Amino acid sequence: MSSPIPTKIVPSAKPAEMSPAQVAREFRALLDDGMQIRPAGEAKRDPESLLSRGYTPKYKLELFDTVFYLTNVRQNEDIRFYVAYVVQSKSAGGRKTAFPRIFYKDLSLIWRAASHFIRSDTENWIGKGDVRAYMENGEELYSSAESTTDLPLEIQTGLESLIRRGGRIRSDQQALALVLRRGPDDRIAPYSDFSEPRRKAQSDPRNLINRNRPVARFSRHNDPRSLRFVSGFEPDFSSKGILELSTSTSKLYGGELRRYRVLSRNRKIQYFFMAGPHQAWVVPPQATTAQLSSFGLRTVDVVADDDLFVPGYEYHYLDVTVEPPEFYSQIPKGYAGKTSELDAYRADASPWLEKLPVVREFRTKVLNA
């Protein structure tokens, strides 16, 4: 049996102190030395054409045995994103491979790696990773486990810091099709290049976090006060548990956002807490394992009740695209606040968040509020 995945607690990765020209030269030197580019999308017919199309990397981040080469930030009508080349030191056959991926900023303000995409006359969707089964009205259904696409917490700050370095953000309508594998309209599940490294890592029980059982759950439905953590997996808000603080800005949240990376008491997982002028919330935690897939993602999950990770603003609106119109909400029932002045589809989730014991503790011990 192979060894379990090692764990490492490291500072967040900072962009390399290299000019865009130096990063580009380094990347081309790797290609000259035999490295191959392997896109999953339309560019697979001529992988190096990505460079001539303007997707030459400008920035570099390193985490564990993985190097991320990143273009300037681009955007389309749906997302803001990087084209990222993921290069790992341990490549098959001894030859390095650069896997082009789309790293995009989700509405929850977390950077993610898209697993695939769907684009047709009736669908426009970015694949959100692995799927999980659930029962509804006696029928087994599937939904995306979106946190499986969350990029390592250790590179979130680095990605955020690079947004404005390239100047004006260019509009780009072609990158997704060039880089990502296109799926049929009904495919929410990722392809094997995404799921197989995860299946392999989680087939060894020694790699599982809390035996793949929830580290936090609500003992009573729709009651935020009933949140309970498994002993050891609580956030450690002491000076030893708070790894770092970074800041960003958000129009939606009304100004500065403080972003705290916090270890669990047993050091097996880590959390990301966000604090804006009005709201505070928790991002899904990650393991402190040091293995990443070719998507740049951790291969081991941390399971917890999704209602713990409601962002400060969440979807809450009347869906008029169905007949008859029906209300759609991702905020626990009865806890939606005022509709955002900037986004009519989202409402303030503070009525739920401020009753979570862990948010109250975060405000008291960290924000001194």
Residue 143 confidence (pLDDT) = 85
d(CA 9, CA 262): 11
Residues forming a β-bridge with 256: 249
Supply the mean pLDDT for the chain: 94
Residue 140 confidence (pLDDT) = 80
pLDDT greater at residue 121 or residue 355? 355
Residue 94 confidence (pLDDT) = 66
Residue 25, CB half-sphere, CA atoms under 13 Å: how many? 5
Question: Residue type at 44?
Answer: K
The arithmetic mean of pLDDT across residues 291-315, rounded, is 97
Residue 133 confidence (pLDDT) = 80
Which residues does 198 contact at the CB level (< 8 Å), separation at least 6? Answer: 130, 148, 293, 299, 300, 301
Model confidence at 138, pLDDT cuts 50, 70, 90, reads: confident
Quick: pLDDT tens for 330-340. Answer: 999 999 999 99
Kind plus residue range of the DSSP H or E element containing 270: strand 269-275
Backbone φ and ψ for 254, nearest 5 degrees, come out as 85, 25
Residue 3 confidence (pLDDT) = 77
Which residues does 306 contact at the CB level (< 8 Å), separation at least 6? Answer: none
Output the six-digit token pair for 319.
């869906």
d(CA 157, CA 107): 16
Residue 92 confidence (pLDDT) = 56
The arithmetic mean of pLDDT across residues 332-355, rounded, is 97
Output the six-digit token pair for 152.
């390592």
Which residues does 164 contact at the CB level (< 8 Å), separation at least 6? Answer: none
Residue 91 confidence (pLDDT) = 61
d(CA 229, CA 245): 24
1 has pLDDT over 60: no
Quick: pLDDT tens for 42-85. Answer: 999 999 999 999 999 999 999 999 999 999 999 999 999 999 99
Model confidence at 139, pLDDT cuts 50, 70, 90, reads: confident
Pairing outcome for strands 216-218 and 170-171: unpaired
DSSP helix/strand/coil, 195: helix
d(CA 306, CA 216): 9
Residue 141 confidence (pLDDT) = 77
Instruction: Give pTM, 2 decimals.
Output: 0.94
